[in-house]
Amino acid sequence: MSELPLKDRIALVTGASRGIGRAAALALAAAGAHIVAVARTQGGLEELDDEIRRLTGASATLVPMDIAEDGSLDQLGLAIHQRFGRVDVLVHAAAILGPMTPVAHIEPKHWDRVMSVNLTASYRLIRSIEPLLRAAGRPRAIFLTSGRASRPKAFWGPYGASKAALENLVRTWADELENTTVRAVLLDPGRMRTKMRAEAMPGEDPTTLPDPSEIGPLVVELAQADLGLPTASVVFSDWKRTGSLASA
């Protein structure tokens, strides 16, 4: 029996209690990684841990927290440093949709919350986790983005703006790390059967959409791939159609 491809790797996954984050955590665990799972809901994390135990016989490290809270990601980085000393794989899937409303009608508190979760927390995560990635042998950082970053559409203002800014931030950071072993990638899952998609498109038939579990193998592949600078996003539907990471 061949050795698991990510055996003994440390994989940090945000938004791990549901949707794409959960699917990524399960796929990485099945490939041999130890999962450090971050999400706001304790119950969802415990359900994830139960599933990982059923799949692999191993447990995950569960971190219930709001990534937008001041200092939370700094504390996370310190705790991982003290326990593991490194992060081999980072999957940043945590995000919120925010209000679906005209830009002129967005309440400042709602704008601030979307930017805090989707953008500022991403910067704080990079700041906290970069030393742990540098301490790994061949680290990979995977950030979830959206087509709305490059294709704006009415009523998607806060979400689309936050993802556009995230893409710029990740590409800037990746360029800064070009001469290290750290590699980052932007992953666009497209339309997928998630709670966020249901909130955004309540009239859509979810059975017509891919299940989040389908993206798991792509996450595992990206965690091992020889990646260049992320000048374009890896699009799930393209990978599913061609089986190629050419866009990476």
Identify residue 175 by its one-letter amino acid code. D
User: Known catalytic residue: 159?
Assistant: yes
Rounded to whole angstroms, how far apart are CA atoms 29 and 6? 8
User: Helix (H, G, I), strand (E, B), or coil: what is residue 233?
Assistant: coil
CB 87 within 8 A of CB 132: yes
Among 143, 159, 173, 239, the one annotated catalytic: 159
Q: How far is CA 112 from the centre of its chain?
A: 21
CA angle 41, 200, 117 (to 5 degrees): 45
**Residue 31: CB partners within 8 Å, gap ≥ 6?**
4, 5, 6, 220, 223
Just list the catalytic residues: 159
